[in-house]
Amino acid sequence: MDRHLKRMATAQRMQQTGLALFHSKGYYNTSVDDVLEELDMSKGAFYYHFKSKEDFFVQIVQTHLAHAMYTKLIAPVQGQDNPLMQIMTCFESALNAAINDQADVGCMLSGFLCEFNGRNENIMEHLRDVLNVWEVHLITSLQKGKASGYLDRHVDTEAVATYVISAYFGIRTLMAGTSRPSTRKYRFMEQLKHYFRTIASKETVL
């Protein structure tokens, strides 16, 4: 394998392992040694690829977290004439993963935003960038739905985007703290559908 490709593959494997550990234990409760022990690698190998633990995490955010957000929550909604239906489909898929104890990217982003708030402004800036990209794309998709006649013409798309993101972060938190996540998910999705009906045009079927 080409040396450059091999280096990229190694860095990617390290980032995937790091993301899983940071999500499960928290950034401040996870050391570089914890990551290296999981990977069975030397400290020298780590610092060959990354300048520091913080640099390691920032690169995880810029690559894995940002890419996963785009793939799971942005791309499926982009370009859709009726974004409301597609948003519900994305949420359904993500929440099903949560029921099966699989960490989804929205849950990770929410957790990291809470962990770093007031503690590390540099990392917060990178996390906010990921969140802002989601929000901007969501607003753009809602505006397209409005122009296509699927949303009522009086709808404030920025307010809807804020509500949708907040609602998603909220239900993920509630599902993590209950023994009946399926029930939480069902009730949430029913209420989300009800809300979308209030902002959809009269002709839109959800």
SS3 149: coil
**Nearest-angstrom CA–CA distance, 32 and 155:** 48
> Rg of the chain over CA atoms, in angstroms?
19
- Coil, strand or helix: which one is 206? coil
Q: What is the pLDDT of residue 86?
A: 94
Backbone dihedral angles phi then psi of residue 159, each to the nearest 5 degrees: -65, -40
User: What local confidence, expressed as pLDDT, does residue 119 receive?
Assistant: 96
The whole-number pLDDT of residue 6 equals 83
Which tokens sit at 159?
A: 């307010």
Taking the CA atoms of 46, 47, 50 and 51 in sequence, report the sign of the dihedral they define: positive
Separation of alpha carbons 82 and 41, rounded Å: 48
Which one, of 89, 88, 80, 193, lies nearest residue 146 by Cα?
Answer: 80
> What are the C-alpha distances in Å from 188 to residues 87, 172, 193?
13, 10, 9
Tell me the domains of the chain and their CATH numbers: 1-50 (1.10.10.60), 52-199 (1.10.357.10)
pLDDT on residue 102:
64
Backbone angles phi, psi at 64, to 5 degrees: -65, -50
Distance of CA 167 to the CA centre of its chain: 13
> pLDDT, tens digit, for every residue of 172-205?
888 877 778 899 999 999 999 999 999 999 888 7
Residues in the chain where the model's pLDDT stays below 70? 1, 101-103
Q: What pLDDT does 204 receive?
A: 80
Condensed to tens digits (0 to 9), the pLDDT of residues 107-128 reads 889 999 999 999 999 999 999 9
pTM: 0.90
- DSSP conformation class of 200: B
